Structure 1
Amino acid sequence: MAEPGEQLPEEVLALIFCYLPLPDRAAAARVCRAWAAAATCSAVWHNISISCDSERKSLLSPYLSSGLDHVRNLGLQFEPSREPSRREATELLRTLAGRSPGLRGLRLECRGEKPLFDAGRDVLDAVRALCRDARALRHLNLRRLPFTLDDALVLQVSRGCPELRSLYLDNDTLVGSVGPYSVLELLEACPHLHSLGLHLASLSRPALETLAAPDRAPLELLALRGACPEDARAPPLPDEAWAALRRRHPGLAVELELEPILSGESVTRVLQPAVPVAVLRFSLSGDTVGPLRFASRHYATTLRLLEVRAAASPQLDAALEELAARCAGLQEVHCFCLVRPSVLRAFLAHCPRLRSYTLKLTRAPHPWRPTLVA
């Protein structure tokens, strides 16, 4: 504790200011010279989250502008259905473009109401401008943007961000417009990628072969989402290509998120035995029991998280019990329908690493909260 009249060291003040919202940081900078020095030092700005809703009046103020050169990892939230919020997010992204040494991580997140179908072009144009020469950028997360991403964006990223380590394009969109050829160019231009999120339609056998090349950096995570018509029509990827990728990257974890747009035939094409599925999320309009039984047979050693949205049935309960008996490494299971007590007992008995579960035995108001395992 500092004595009355004694000033806290600048590094302690900077640590405190890191936890303050942006308007409060700006206010702190106006208190005195010592606080201004701490509030504007580079450490305060390295990792920052900005909301274009609650902090609109402070955006691009002299305080913010003076700190942008120090920003390394930025989380930016905005409401796309509100024009002022979207405009300020766009302006901030364009202001960051070309800054030296530049961003290392960028995560964009839309909040509030879903935008119109053709919304987001201004935001995506700003992202392209930022990525035109972002050689310091290591991480780009666009999965919380509900806009239609396209080949032009991916090609811009591949040409302007050669040091990229992670890229997430598996967003919530009605149209999949990122083609396999642009992803292939991305992989060839960014050899250090270790985490990649895509829609199923964006992945191809040549991409798997490129990822399995002996000179590539170890691939840690491949997140795949089937949520739009293009994903439902995507051609199957041969099991031998997955097997080769798994041999090249034994630590690879695959996340699969399969939504109602996929038919039973499409799901069968996606679920290949050699895929090292660690996270599996089902929300299917057709058969869920068959895919669950497939997962229990082929992903028993890799599956760590399961999420199921389906109609309750005795067949589903039996499939869940079978999966619990086979997948001893499971850490989370969340089933958003009622299950019989034997399902809960099976997971508690056979899954010693279970950390949380959502397995309701009786009706309860939504939203359902997971139960933590002591």
Structure 2
Amino acid sequence: MEDKGLIWSAMDLPEEILAHIFSFLPLHDKCNAFTVCKAWSGTMTHPSSWKDTEVRCESANSIPDRYFDLLPLVRNLKLRISLIDPANRKNALWVLRQALSRGEGRLETLSICCMANTPLFYAGQDLQQGLVDILSSGSSLRVLDLKGVPFTLSDSFVRSVVMLCPALQSLYINNQSLVCGVKPETLSQVLKSCLSLNTLGVFQASLSQDVFKDLMLPERPNLKKLELRCERSLKYTQSLCDEIWAELKRRHPRLCVELELDHTLPELLVPGVLHPNIPVRCLRLLTWTLLLEEVRIVGQNYGCTLEVLELQTIPSSELNSELIALAKQCLRLREVHCYCVVSQEVIAAFLANCPDLWRYTLKIHKEPHPWTCTKLK
């Protein structure tokens, strides 16, 4: 009876509120909700119901026929694609065409994430070329997030996209590819084409002194966030000095940086990446190597800025000591996740010294994967 009462209460909500609630549901859940009653079905055509929509292209029935004409109402689209079957990729491009071409400039945010295992030797050329073909010059896209694609993004693809989407404010191309496919010259072209860009996610190998000079031009808007993925490609690039980071920080005083160090990054390069003048807010050291010196550097360099720390390393009593010292230096930490066993003293140190800590993954015994985090607030 209580469940029935909740349903009737929801049915009494104004259409605008219902539409807002429905906007957070994935497509199939929206379809189920819209079959509950006539009133809910009518809410289906309200633009707010489709403002934020996730579409999963993982089977032939990803999109029910009766909702085809509503896809142009989507403003923020999250597209999840199973790469195994080429038909899923074809469906995904069809969804993009409905949302982009028929949306008459409405689509503002596009996030593409790939699911399941990537087919052997698959390079994503059909999806990259398909997106370029669908985009029209002067696209309304403000946010393009490609962090969830596993294939290498080519220079030609990135250049084509930014030429077609000059209004981009956020661009994420720091995806999970094994290698960086975007040269610094292409990143400079990104900055020249997208004059409103204030959030950027890239491989650190795509940075150069010339890119930094472009970022510091007086006519550029304030840079809010820079996400950097550091992997093996850094072996073949010229290292950036700390002074250029200091200049960038002066030019963009509100800049926050998220650094992810991949396990493919040579161990000798890790300390050289952690410059003191990088305003690091989030740091992920996913190297699976001994990180004693690195943890010491983090505590010394980022005590005033660091809010999120993630470590994949090897347990030791020395690591416990370094983590306790870090907890006393990085007082602004809100999250800390260490995927190796630590001592009880480490947990006590973070709880005692970090008043804003709201969740952590710190274990004194091994657990089955995945380890669960502890939430405090």
User: Which residue of the other structure, out of 164, 187, 199, is the alignment partner of 1:183?
Assistant: 187
Paired amino acid for 2:87: P
Residue in 2 that maps onto 1:117: 121
Write the distance in 1 (CA, Å) between the matches of 2:269 and 2:277. Answer: 17
Q: 1:291-302 counterparts in 2 under 5 A? A: 291-302=294-305
Residue in 2 that maps onto 1:368: 371
The answer to whether the 8 Å contact 1:98/1:134 transfers is no
3-state DSSP of counterpart to 1:309: strand
3-state DSSP of counterpart to 1:272: coil
Residue in 2 that maps onto 1:308: 311
User: Which residue of the other structure, out of 47, 50, 73, is the alignment partner of 1:45?
Assistant: 50
3-state DSSP of counterpart to 1:109: strand
The answer to whether the 8 Å contact 1:134/1:160 transfers is yes
Alpha-carbon shift at residue 33 of structure 1 (Å) = 7.7
Residues 182-191 or 33-42, more deviating: 33-42
Structure 2 regions of 5+ residues with no counterpart? none
3-state DSSP of counterpart to 1:284: strand
User: Are 1:14 and 2:19 an aligned pair?
Assistant: yes
**Per-residue CA distance 1:96-135 (angstroms, 9 max, x = gap):** 4433123100001111223323242111112222334253
CA RMSD across the alignment: 2.5
Residue in 2 that maps onto 1:283: 286
The answer to whether the 8 Å contact 1:132/1:159 transfers is no
The answer to whether the 8 Å contact 2:166/2:193 transfers is yes
Write the distance in 2 (CA, Å) between the matches of 1:226 and 1:303. Answer: 18
Paired amino acid for 2:250: R
Distance 1:329 1:144, change over 3 A: same
Alpha-carbon shift at residue 10 of structure 1 (Å) = 4.0
Residue in 1 that maps onto 2:254: 251
User: Are 1:347 and 2:350 an aligned pair?
Assistant: yes
Alpha-carbon shift at residue 308 of structure 1 (Å) = 0.6
* Percentage of identical aligned residues: 38
Paired amino acid for 1:333: V
Count of aligned positions: 370
Q: 1:197-236 counterparts in 2 under 5 A? A: 197-227=201-231, 229-236=232-239
Q: TM-score, normalised by structure 1?
A: 0.90
Paired amino acid for 2:63: L
Q: TM-score, normalised by structure 2?
A: 0.90
The answer to whether the 8 Å contact 1:132/1:157 transfers is no
Distance 1:311 1:20, change over 3 A: closer
Distance 1:214 1:364, change over 3 A: same
Distance 1:208 1:31, change over 3 A: same
The answer to whether the 8 Å contact 1:28/1:39 transfers is no
3-state DSSP of counterpart to 2:313: coil
User: Are 1:338 and 2:341 an aligned pair?
Assistant: yes
Write the distance in 2 (CA, Å) between the matches of 1:363 and 1:50. Answer: 37
Write the distance in 1 (CA, Å) between the matches of 2:42 and 2:8. Answer: 21
**Per-residue CA distance 1:167-223 (angstroms, 9 max, x = gap):** 111111122111110111101111211111111111111112211222211111101
Distance 1:94 1:350, change over 3 A: same
